[in-house]
Amino acid sequence: MTTAPAKTILRALAGETLPTPPIWMMRQAGRYLPEYRAKRAEAGDFLSLCYNPDLAAEVTLQPIRRFGFDGAILFADILLVPQALGSDVWFVTGEGPRLSTITSPAGVAALKPADAVHDTLSPIYETIRILRRELPEQTTLIGFAGAPWTVATYMVAGRGTPDQGPAHAFKDADRAAFTALIDRIGDATIEYLSAQIEAGAEVVKLFDSWAGSLKGQDFDDFALAPTAKIIAALKARHPAIPIIAFPREAGPRYVGFARATGADCVALDQSVDAGWAAANVQRDGCVQGNLAPQHMVTGGQALVDEMRRIVAAFSGGPHIFNLGHGITPDANPDNVALMVETVRAGR
């Protein structure tokens, strides 16, 4: 007889409808918290913080201590995989990440093999081992990686772009070479997430933050298919590990995404209505989301009313409460506390 998982996030991911949805928040460890900013300053720069297991574990724990979330997401960055594959990666204060660019078949061919993530990213696995020792017993540890399309957009452009134009241009000019890049990232992501699971991650999440810019066959080839490939490989190695997929701004393509990819849960951005998502996406299993992050800035009764609406809409099936995207640096921690209190009060 199989014993049901006790942790609320794991119960929801297993398909259980709970009277109170478990709650965590994307980017819950971050710049909106003064204690995070202090640790970031101690580390010296963002990448040094990611690669320092003691400090990375500490900033992962900070929002758990402050708010008591049901899940703790590993503090790291999606661009660590490109760095492990040989890209130069650095962060510019106030502007975000910068990378050396890949714009040709030769650039793709020059990347390191997928298993390069094992040595280069070993500090990340040590962070996970620390967290499994330090987290409260009831808190689920969530690992993550960027999905291949989103990671590729940064590797091609060398930075974030508003429309992912450089990646689209590479894809359209040489689909074979671009597909080879997606495959290399996907293979590395399988190795990276598998190592996170072996270190102690209980759930992993694939962030496809720029999936919404893919349409038609491109969505199938570069968002859906790579996610399905990664999930199938991870499930073959770790059958019991639940996987959350987040094809942000997929719109109508959220429908059937879980069935097509094998994901245990689909995270939803705030652009889709919760009632529509309950009828069309939640019917396939657990959903996560989807409060607009701006409510963490503005707070007030509008925050409470919108939260109640979302919780009510998803109350008929498995649901993990979360934002529709990451919390922003200008958010007020008091509003985060209000969010947690409102969800758990159930009114």
Q: Is the pLDDT of residue 198 over 50?
A: yes
Phi-psi region of 216 (alpha: psi -120 to 50; beta: other; left: phi over 0): left
Mean pLDDT of 308-321: 98
Residue 127: count of CB within 10 angstroms of its CB: 28
Mean pLDDT of 106-112: 97
Please write the tens of the pLDDT for every residue from 122-153. 999 999 999 999 999 999 999 999 999 999 99
Q: In Å, how far are 9, 20, 51, 91, 223 from 59, measured between CA atoms? A: 21, 27, 12, 18, 30
Helix (H, G, I), strand (E, B) or coil at 119: helix
> Which pLDDT score, from 0 to 100, does residue 311 have?
97
Q: Is the pLDDT of residue 186 over 60?
A: yes
Of 4-18, 98-112, 297-311, the range with the lowest mean pLDDT is 4-18
CB-CB contact of 22 with 9 (8 Å)? yes
> Which pLDDT score, from 0 to 100, does residue 4 have?
53
Task: Give the H/E segment covering residue 246.
Answer: strand 243-247
> Which pLDDT score, from 0 to 100, does residue 268 have?
98
Helix (H, G, I), strand (E, B) or coil at 283: helix
- State the DSSP string of 55-102: HHHHHHHHHHHHH--SEEE----TTHHHHHTT--EEEETTTEEEE---
> Which pLDDT score, from 0 to 100, does residue 180 have?
98
Q: In Å, how far are 110, 154, 178, 192 from 87, measured between CA atoms? A: 10, 10, 16, 16
Name the residue ranges covered by the structural domains of the chain: 8-345
> Which pLDDT score, from 0 to 100, does residue 1 have?
42
CB-CB contact of 303 with 6 (8 Å)? no
Q: How far apart are CA 236 and CA 240, in angstroms?
A: 10
- State the DSSP string of 209-221: TTGGG--HHHHII
- From the number of C-beta atoms within 10 Å of its C-beta (0-12, 13-18, 19+), residue 16 rates as middle
Residue positions annotated with a catalytic role:
27, 31, 40, 77, 154
Q: How far apart are CA 250 and CA 324, in angstroms?
A: 12
Phi-psi region of 256 (alpha: psi -120 to 50; beta: other; left: phi over 0): left
198 Cβ neighbours under 8 A, 6+ residues apart: 125
> Which pLDDT score, from 0 to 100, does residue 346 have?
77
> Which pLDDT score, from 0 to 100, does residue 149 have?
98
Please name the CATH architecture into which domain 8-345 falls: Alpha-Beta Barrel (3.20)
CB-CB contact of 247 with 227 (8 Å)? yes
Q: Is the pLDDT of residue 87 over 80?
A: yes
Q: Is the pLDDT of residue 94 over 90?
A: no
